[in-house]
Amino acid sequence: MDCIFCKIAAGEIPCKKIYEDERVLAFFDIQPQAPVHALIIPKTHVASADELTAQTAGVAADVFGAVPKVARACGLTRGYRVITNVGEDGCQSVRHLHCHLLGGRKLPEEMG
Ligand code: AMP
């Protein structure tokens, strides 16, 4: 499968790693939109939150379970925002489920 995040998870494409365990990987976004902009991906390929099922919901739990660890590793003591984009209207550019973790400054109130 030609998926850039699968290749990053497999170590075939380098990343600036923040956190890793057997099921998830977190790394800095290549085009940061905040002082801290991390991505958290499952090592299992799921295309987006819209593809989740009762059988694969654990993949989302793994990603969310890593959120506080990544936030602490990035020094985000004052809060942060977690976003997952879905599909064309959600402006999802990489079709592998991921959370954006944004922080390091007061973020705009607008969500969309
Ligand atoms: P989305 O638009 O929600 O699908 O988010 C995909 C994110 O992946 C974007 O913010 C990109 O900047 C980021 N991205 C794409 N390729 C890489 C890469 N090789 N390393 C780090 N971040 C990447």
pLDDT in tens, 65-112: 999 999 999 999 999 999 999 999 999 999 999 999 999 999 999 987
Task: Specify the number of domains making up the chain.
Answer: 1
Structural domain including 51 reads 4-103
Q: Is residue 109 part of a domain?
A: no
Q: What are the E-state strand segments in the chain?
A: 17-20, 24-28, 36-42, 80-83, 99-103
pTM assigned to the model: 0.98
Residue 85 CB–ligand 1 contact under 6 Å: yes
Q: Is residue 108 part of a domain?
A: no
Q: Work out the number of other CB atoms within 10 angstroms of the CB of residue 56.
A: 14
How confident is residue 9, by pLDDT bands cut at 50, 70 and 90? very high
Distance 30 CA to ligand 1 centre (A): 6
Tell me: pLDDT of 62 over 80. Answer: yes
Q: Is residue 110 part of a domain?
A: no
- 100 counts as catalytic: no
Q: Is residue 15 part of a domain?
A: yes
Nearest CA to ligand 1 atom 19: 30
How confident is residue 1, by pLDDT bands cut at 50, 70 and 90? confident
Distance 100 CA to ligand 1 centre (A): 9
Q: Is residue 85 part of a domain?
A: yes
